[in-house]
Structure 1
Amino acid sequence: MSSIELFAGAGGLALGMSNAGFNHSAIIEWNKDACETIRYNRLLDNSPIAGWPTPVENDARKIDYSAFREAVNVISGGPPCQPFSLGGKHQGYNDERDMFPEAVRAVRELKPKAFIFENVKGLMRASFSDYFEYINLQLAFPDFVRKPEESWEKHLYRLKCYSGQSKASDLHYKLNVKLLNAANYGVPQKRERVFFIGFRSDLAIDWQFPEETHSEDALLIAKWITGEYWERHKISKKDRPEPSVRSLGRIKRLKHAAKATDVEVISKLPWLTVRDAICDLPDPELGIKMQVDNHIFVPGARTYPGHTGSPLDEPSKTLKAGDHGVPGGENMLVKLDGSVRYFTVREAARIQTFPDQYRFNGSWTETMRQLGNAVPVKLAQTVASSVAASIANLDSN
């Protein structure tokens, strides 16, 4: 199945799409360093992206899609999230980096069987509620084009009217929108992102988001009821920390549920933690010559209010790119003695579920920015596999 990847960044969503069986007809990204990461990986031995086309280093607003119109099953991408990020300047639809109009244009011109778009949780804030509805309606009815000089508010009003009056024969997409926490799908990171999944209406595909596979409750059981988590990591009882005060009530409830063999509680796998992700990597502070790519200690980490790092035995906090380099708290590890250090690039890549064969070429600040902007590969693969299965089932009938 063919796909086109927009706003590819360092390739997290695109790699998940590849792992799900999609073949990219084009990889489009405007940032030179991100394109260089993809070009670099295409040429490596045993590269997981060896079959990818050379990335198109260009602004999405300048892309001519006419060459791809007969070849695209799915369009995917993560429009730049800074306009809506909780950590950004919150300019939203007034931010020139808002690329949702270009995502809609690609869908309108290529008319794929489906699309997969991803963005930050901040897009769902109350202050953006009208624009969030506008994005949804544009994606559902991409042929209903905004007029020259028309404000988005007036276009939204017309879209609302049209959506209630459109004919079944008119091109539109059945849209599914949901906020997903990557930790609930086996990613060692608490990363909430909103996904927009659309299927072309004439295909009559009834699709639902994949069921969550992991849970915090299951992690609490593995730590404080069965002890399996500590045993797996060979942590003796005397070296195990005490559960947090916040979790004591939940642990008591889970003990009762476990005795009653509550299927809902025990059917999911435990959340993965930072320790799960990096336990087999050498300590970068020891100065040992590393046999692992991108695993180099960077000094200077410090905490400040609201940015205190990620505990070792929890999923990490959301890795972030920052406006000017790497923000202090989100990309740090809290060590067992309470001190902090920055995650290495390889540790951050593990947390974003990039394979170790995928390498990042460039400065630490730049590669961490790429990782902070990326879609976790495993989450992307889970969603894309479900979309691919629906299309394959359609094609086989």
Structure 2
Amino acid sequence: MRSVELFAGAGGLGIGVARAGFEPAAVVEWDRWACETLLENKPWPVHRGDVREFSYDHLANIELVSGGPPCQPFSMGGKHNAFLDRRDMFPEAIRAVRELQPKAFIFENVKGLTRQAFANYLEYIRLQLRHPEMEARAGEPWLDHLARLERHETSGSHAGLHYNVVLRLLNAANHGVPQKRERVFIVGFRSDLSTEWNFPAETHSARALAWAQGPEGDYWDQHKVARNNRPLLVVPPKERPESQPWLTVRDALVGLPDPQTRPEAAKAFPDHRFIPGARSYPGHTGSPLDQPSKTLKAGVHGVPGGENMLRRPDGSVRYFSVRESARLQTFPDDFLFHGAWGETMRQLGNAVPVRLAEIVAQSVRAQLDGVEARGSV
């Protein structure tokens, strides 16, 4: 099945989509370093440039459109301008759906998109994706366009191209990613297909990690941690949960030598070197070794950079190396990043965890395979 990837960044979402069996017919990204990263690692047709100037005329039979429209308009750390922000690229995501008419789409964005302040605009996005042919008229304010979409939605007359759209806030840690990272996923299926779909069930939990780290669990034995160095982090549940334990930073870094204390051994791994200068301050204390990491941020200094750190059991901190950060984002170890450290951390901080993308995309692919098997395309 052929796909188009927009706002590809370093390729976290794209790798997951490709692993689910989709073949990229076009990958669009404007950032130079992200494009170089993609070209270094994947034989994909990468188009560097402004997506607003990209033509889909040469593309046909596209089953999936995916991408992560730039999140700065909605980010908790930004100015929260949403539709007033010229970096809002959701209109381009909607244009791709309108022109390519894929069987399905997967878009993702930051948790900030679900803020109450953006509630009306999130519904506006959803209704545009549901009825992509109902474009805004020249000079039409977005609230007027929203009202027109609402009237169309409630009229019961949905001729032409439209999609069944669902969205959910997913925590990557609950799906086997060693990072507490919440992203909004918006998934749609073309309404002429016979589909019944829901987001994949969560497989991992904090309760299961508490059990694994308690007296009855085997977490500490697996990591060969001496008994006198085994803190009881939380009170474990009385019964073993059916879910799997959250994966921790310690789980993610298995096999990687510490780049600060073992720099020579660390040289055997690409993008794995010690970066000095990390410091802890209130509210920015780094990620504990025996929990999933905090959300990696697209920065290295100040507020964002304060969380791109490892906090050891003795309280000392250091920056995660690029390779360690890639592990936390579930990129493969042979995936190489282009750019200086700060630029590379920006790519990683903006990325979708590969494993989370793969899980969602596999579920969408299974639904589309079922459609083909029933002959209802």
Whether the 8 Å CA contact 1:325–1:366 is kept in 2: the answer is no
Matched, 1:343 2:320: yes
Matched, 1:57 2:52: no
- Quick one: which of 92, 117, 124 aligns to 1:134? 124
Matched, 1:383 2:373: no
Equivalent in the alignment of 1:19? 19
Equivalent in the alignment of 1:67? 58
The AA in structure 1 aligned to 2:200 is: P
Q: How does 1:155-194 map to 2 (within 5 A)?
A: 155-194=145-184
Deviations 1:15-48 (A, max 9, x none): 001111000000000111100111122xxxxxxx
- Quick one: which of 218, 240, 247 aligns to 1:272? 247
User: Percent identity of the aligned residues?
Assistant: 57
- Report the Cα distance in structure 2 between the residues aligned to 1:395 and 1:169, rounded to whole angstroms: 23
**TM-score normalised to the size of structure 2?**
0.96
Equivalent in the alignment of 2:293? 316
Equivalent in the alignment of 1:395? 372
Matched, 1:282 2:248: no
Task: Show structure 1 runs of 4+ deviating over 6 A.
Answer: 323-326
- Report the Cα distance in structure 2 between the residues aligned to 1:72 and 1:123, rounded to whole angstroms: 27
Q: Cα–Cα, structure 1 residues 325 and 65, in superposed 2: closer, same or farther, change >3 Å?
A: farther
Equivalent in the alignment of 2:4? 4
Q: How far does residue 268 in structure 1 lie from its aligned partner after superposition?
A: 1.0
Matched, 1:299 2:289: no
Equivalent in the alignment of 1:261? none
Whether the 8 Å CA contact 2:299–2:342 is kept in 1: the answer is no
**TM-score normalised to the size of structure 1?**
0.91
Q: How far does residue 93 in structure 1 lie from its aligned partner after superposition?
A: 1.4
- Report the Cα distance in structure 2 between the residues aligned to 1:207 and 1:147, rounded to whole angstroms: 33
Q: How far does residue 90 in structure 1 lie from its aligned partner after superposition?
A: 1.4
- Report the Cα distance in structure 1 between the residues aligned to 2:246 and 2:76, rounded to whole angstroms: 24
Whether the 8 Å CA contact 2:300–2:306 is kept in 1: the answer is no
- Report the Cα distance in structure 2 between the residues aligned to 1:225 and 1:369, rounded to whole angstroms: 40
Whether the 8 Å CA contact 2:213–2:232 is kept in 1: the answer is no
Equivalent in the alignment of 1:332? 309
Whether the 8 Å CA contact 1:277–1:350 is kept in 2: the answer is yes
The AA in structure 1 aligned to 2:15 is: L
- Report the Cα distance in structure 1 between the residues aligned to 2:302 and 2:28, rounded to whole angstroms: 23
Deviations 1:185-221 (A, max 9, x none): 0000000001000000000211110111111111000
User: The residue matched to 1:139 in structure 2 has which SS?
Assistant: helix
- Quick one: which of 186, 189, 214 aligns to 2:204? 214
Which blocks of at least 5 consecutive residues in structure 2 are unaligned?
none
- Quick one: which of 106, 127, 130 aligns to 2:96? 106
- Report the Cα distance in structure 1 between the residues aligned to 2:129 and 2:159, rounded to whole angstroms: 17
Which blocks of at least 5 consecutive residues in structure 1 are unaligned?
42-48, 259-264
User: The residue matched to 2:173 in structure 1 has which SS?
Assistant: helix
Q: How far does residue 302 in structure 1 lie from its aligned partner after superposition?
A: 1.0
- Report the Cα distance in structure 2 between the residues aligned to 1:393 and 1:157, rounded to whole angstroms: 36
**Larger proportion of helix:** 1
Deviations 1:334-383 (A, max 9, x none): 01210110000000000000000111122000000000000000000000
User: The residue matched to 1:378 in structure 2 has which SS?
Assistant: helix
Equivalent in the alignment of 1:199? 189
The AA in structure 2 aligned to 1:216 is: A
Deviations 1:214-246 (A, max 9, x none): 111110000014231101001121111232xxx
Count of matched residue positions in the alignment of Structure 1 and Structure 2? 372
Q: How far does residue 324 in structure 1 lie from its aligned partner after superposition?
A: 7.4
Q: Cα–Cα, structure 1 residues 24 and 61, in superposed 2: closer, same or farther, change >3 Å?
A: same
Q: How far does residue 393 in structure 1 lie from its aligned partner after superposition?
A: 1.2
- Report the Cα distance in structure 1 between the residues aligned to 2:301 and 2:195, rounded to whole angstroms: 43
- Report the Cα distance in structure 1 between the residues aligned to 2:255 and 2:300, rounded to whole angstroms: 32
The AA in structure 2 aligned to 1:212 is: E
Deviations 1:278-300 (A, max 9, x none): 02101101221510000011000
Whether the 8 Å CA contact 1:326–1:365 is kept in 2: the answer is no
Deviations 1:144-199 (A, max 9, x none): 11001111111111111111114244321001100000000000000000100000
